[in-house]
Structure 1
């Protein structure tokens, strides 16, 4: 696949995703559609034949931006929520959901016509397969829309965020130069149950994308009791709870914790700190004890280590969606959309089969 100034050559992760989506293209809705980065990504996705992009925003403005940049809009759908034929349908559905929850909404159409809410409704009701948002909005806006409009997974106690990082140039960066990291964006101080759920759900995500048995590291400042702090004890308790869930659900996932980052990723450190660690592979999934640790690690790996980031994926919802930062690059937008599309394939294979 040829690269251009906006889109570098595909890496080990995205190359597989693009090939998969060529066989099973998905409809990806971009809630912040009035952005030249999104328009470029949409045109690229069409050229690659991996998705049908849907841009939310003012049609005339988006088409003018595309024309000024010399970008074709063939097969790129643009929807202005206030003018959409689906608006009244979504309004009625929102009113029904509110009544079911014992609430009354004074102006449901005003709520639904907000771009992020409309995009999330499209995903929830099958008008799109996945959502990407955040390039022109605050993270809280994206998460609120997704959590309000998209049905949660009942077994996940709280929605969280997961990142996928790719850095084949860095030492000890997972087994394949890919790391899955959570929670990097939502829960400030997860409790034991939430931390265990974060581990299991991110492990499932890694299993899907790596195509093999992943290893989860429940990170701490302590390794197997080297420090007896309450924080370390919480991580250990979450590890045991997650291990039990993995066992009960017959998941192909390995887990270790509480464990320091060097022992989780560097085999030399693991040989010193962990008994009989020689047969263990480096961790593929890093679960952080709190949001500060996760978010700081993410930014350092991205901006200092040069790791390519994708996401963050909004985990714990029944349909795939992602929140990207306002500083997002077009490469990250494209790769994140591809990840959301691949998650949509999984949804169609598993969740819809359960509903039938």
Structure 2
């Protein structure tokens, strides 16, 4: 069974409640119909019920009736949500009047539903920017304990089974934090290993902290940052299998790893790659995707206390369907914590 099918089957095995706040958008509603038909997740759609049902009829979607639909302009819990939001943001000067307006915003409303345990995760981005997706999540749901920076992981499904986990690699950060310091990079490593477990199903994440140097072969402050990040990650999670700094070939190819980093438990056997900065990560995964003909799934936002994921505005119906399953897997893992 390929990775995507495994993710979908895991989601089906323990259905989670996922919010789609852009429910009147065509691709989103069509993906919702597929999710409901296949029983991948229970869905909460935010939007005017008459409009959603009219669009479902127009596009021949026969399963939307299985979803819970919440009208942001006529929500019986609006005042409750507004009071809670005003309390959460009172140190930032938010008034109850401002909160009442914000809980009509579908992105904020979805996060309030999650905050009050009415849902397990949210996906947006078909219409919204990454900043608009992240802002309510960070204001309302906030980061996991011990995490202060959000990052984005990508699942790379390659045609090279000798690398990673039968050809699958989990890489980060590829989406959010442009120039992480050592502390943030350590957090990214820990979160990416968690994504490898919860989404990719890795039972044994092996994390390589990438650099242009392997074990002191070059000297530079950016190499020092990777070395320090490795130390911090290992200090915080001693059971985490992690090593660095490693060049990409030393991380992935056993013969190179043995030569460049003899005795390393990770060199030549890594299945999780952590890039030293966003520039390298974003360029690197796209080169693998395009030149290596790999499937790239994500980005998967990580570090938030409950999963809130961001879509590309150029996403397809299939992309949204897969992201629902991915978010459901993250939600299951979040509940364990």
TM-score (norm 2): 0.91
Distance of 1:278 and 1:92 partners within structure 2: 52
Q: Is structure 2 residue 262 aligned with structure 1 residue 275?
A: yes
Query: Any gaps of 5 or more consecutive residues in structure 1?
Result: 1-10, 351-356
Aligned counterpart for 2:317 among listed residues 330, 335, 346: 330
Deviation at 1:61, TM superposition (A): 3.2
Distance 1:19 1:161 in 2: 23
Partner of 1:30: 20
Note the C-alpha offset of 1:74.
2.6
Q: C-alpha offsets along residues 252-281 of structure 1, whole Å, 9 cap, x if unaligned?
A: x31121111121122243233222469855
Q: Report 1:46-57 matches (<5 A).
A: 46-57=36-47
1:150 paired with 2:141, answer yes
Runs of 4+ residues deviating >4 angstroms: 276-281
The 2-side partners of 1:171 and 1:348 are apart by 32
- 272, 276, 299: which one aligns with 1:285: 272
**1:63 & 1:307 partners in 2: Cα distance?**
38
1:341 equivalenced with 2:328 (yes/no)? yes
What's 2:85 paired with? 94
The equivalent residue for 2:213 is 222
Q: What SS does the aligned partner of 1:126 have?
A: coil
Q: How does 1:187-336 map to 2 (within 5 A)?
A: 187-208=177-198, 209-247=200-238, 251=239, 253-276=240-263, 282-336=269-323
* 3-state secondary structure, aligned to 1:81: coil
Q: Aligned partners of 1:50, 1:289: CA distance in 2, in Å?
A: 35
Write out per-residue CA displacement over residues 197-243 of structure 1, whole angstroms, 9 at most, x where no aligned residue.
11112112223342411110111111111110111111111111112
In structure 2, C-alpha distance between the alignment counterparts of 1:49 and 1:306, rounded to whole Å: 30
Residues 70 and 104 of structure 1, relative CA distance in 2, 3 Å threshold: closer
Whether the 8 Å contact between 1:309 and 1:332 is mirrored in structure 2 is no
Aligned length: 334
By how many angstroms is 1:94 displaced? 0.6
Counterpart contact for 2:23–2:47, Cα < 8 Å: yes
Match of 1:71 in 2: 61
Distance 2:122 2:265 in 1: 42
Structure 1 position 305, deviation (Å): 3.2
Return 88-97 or 260-269, whichever deviates more.
260-269
User: TM-score scaled to structure 1, two decimals?
Assistant: 0.87
Q: Distance in 1 between matches of 2:309 and 2:169?
A: 17
CA RMSD of aligned residues (A): 2.1
Q: In structure 1, what is the Cα distance between the partners aligned to 2:265 and 2:77?
A: 58
Contact (CA 8 Å) 2:211, 2:245: kept in 1 or not? Answer: yes
User: What SS does the corresponding residue of 1:263 show, helix, strand or coil?
Assistant: helix
Match of 1:13 among 3, 10, 17: 3
Task: State the secondary structure of the residue aligned to 1:269.
Answer: helix
The answer (yes or no) to whether the contact 1:267–1:278 under 8 Å persists in 2 is no
User: Cα offset for 1:102?
Assistant: 5.7
Cα deviation, residue 39, structure 1: 1.6
- Quick one: distance in 2 between partners of 1:326 and 1:172? 34
Instruction: Choose the corresponding residue for 2:74, options 77, 83, 92.
Output: 83
**C-alpha spacing 1:102/1:139, structure 2 compared with 1 (3 Å):** closer
